[in-house]
Structure formats: structure tokens, C-alpha cells
Structure 1
Amino acid sequence: MIRHLVLFKLDEGVERDDPRAVAGAQAFRDLDKAVPGLEFWECAWNITDRPIAYDFAINSAVADADALKRYIEHPAHQAAAAMWREFATWVIADYEF
């Protein structure tokens, strides 16, 4: 199994209620229904307000490297990521467990 973690940081001046952020969060919430092969999927806004905290997180898992590639290349994922490029940056970690 591969764990796929993503942490998003909203750009300066962008708030969670910005329509782009609302739509981007919904696009990621809907990915588990759109992308086959996801073994585990959760995403949510961060509930803490610390200076080092990121704003939104995805915690997911896939069976193997091929499934991760299919997820990354899936049109629904590409569309959701494109939305977030408009108003945020992110970091990613993928590891086997």
C-alpha cells in the first residue's frame, strides 16, 4: 500500500470562504467517488490556527505505484489540482506502509 498525503497552504489574502477555495475543497471531497482504485480517502480543512499549520489536507491510500499513477493522471484529479493552483501551494509525501 502507498499512503498519499497532501497539505495545502492558501495563498496570501485567500480565505477558506473564497468561492475558489470552497469549490476546490468540494472537488477533492468528490474524488473518492470519481477515481477508481482509491483504497482510503479523506480530506478536510485544518482545525487549528497555528502559524506553521497548513490549511487543507488529503490523506489517502492506493494499492501500489500503478494505482498512484492512475490516480494522479485521472482527469478528475487533474481538474481538482488545476483549481487549487489558482489560489494555493502544496507539499506531498508518498510512502509505502
Structure 2
Amino acid sequence: MIRHLVLFKLDEGVRRDEPRVAEAVKAFEELGGIVPELEFWECAWNITDRDIAYDYAINSAVADRDALKRYIEHPAHQAAAGRWREFATWVIADYEF
């Protein structure tokens, strides 16, 4: 199995309650039921406000590297990630467990 973690940081001045942010969150919330490669899927806002904290997180799992590639290339994932590109940056970690 591969764990796929993503942490998002909203750009300066972008608020969580903006409509475009809410739409992007909804797109990610729906991915778990759309992308068949996802064995595990959860996403949520960070509840801490420390300076080093990121704002939003995805914690997911897929079976193997091929499944990870299919997930990343899936049109629904590409569309959801594209929304976030407008107002956030992110970091990822993929590891086998």
C-alpha cells in the first residue's frame, strides 16, 4: 500500500469561506467516491493556527505505484487539483506501508 499525503497552504489573503475555496473543498471531498483506485480517503481543514501549520490536508491510500499514477492522472483528480492551483500551494509525501 502507498500512503498519499497532501498539505495545502492558502495564498496570502485567501480565506476559507470564499466560494472558490468552498468549491475546491467540495471537489476533493467527492473524490473518494469517484476515483476507484482510492482504498482510503479523508480530507479536512487543519484545526490549529500555528505559523508553521498548513491549512488543509488530504490523507489517502492506494494499492501500489500504478494505482497512484492512475489516481494522479484521473480527470476528477486533475480537475479538483486545478481548482486549488488558483489560490494555494502544497507539499506531498508518498510512502509505502
Instruction: Give the TM-score of the pair, scaled to structure 1.
Output: 0.99
- Aligned equivalents of 2:70, 2:44: Cα separation in 1: 23
Which position in structure 1 is the counterpart of 2:64?
Answer: 64
Aligned residues: 97
Q: Are 1:86 and 2:86 matched, yes or no?
A: yes
Q: Which runs of 5+ in 1 are unaligned?
A: none
2:33 aligns to what?
33
Pairwise CA distance, 1:20: 1.1
Residue deviations 1:20-66, cap 9 Å, x none?
11111110000011100211000000001111000000000000000
One-letter amino acid of the structure 1 residue matched with residue 27 of structure 2: A
1:94 Cα deviation (Å)? 0.2
How large is the RMSD of aligned CA atoms in angstroms?
Answer: 0.4
Question: How far is 1:96 from its partner?
Answer: 0.3
- Per-residue CA deviation, residues 57-81 of structure 1 (Å, 9 max, x unaligned), is 0000000000000000000000000
Structure 2 runs not aligned, ≥5 long: none
- Aligned structure 1 segments of 4 or more residues deviating by more than 4 angstroms: none
User: 3-state DSSP class of the match of 2:83?
Assistant: helix
Corresponding residue for 1:52?
52
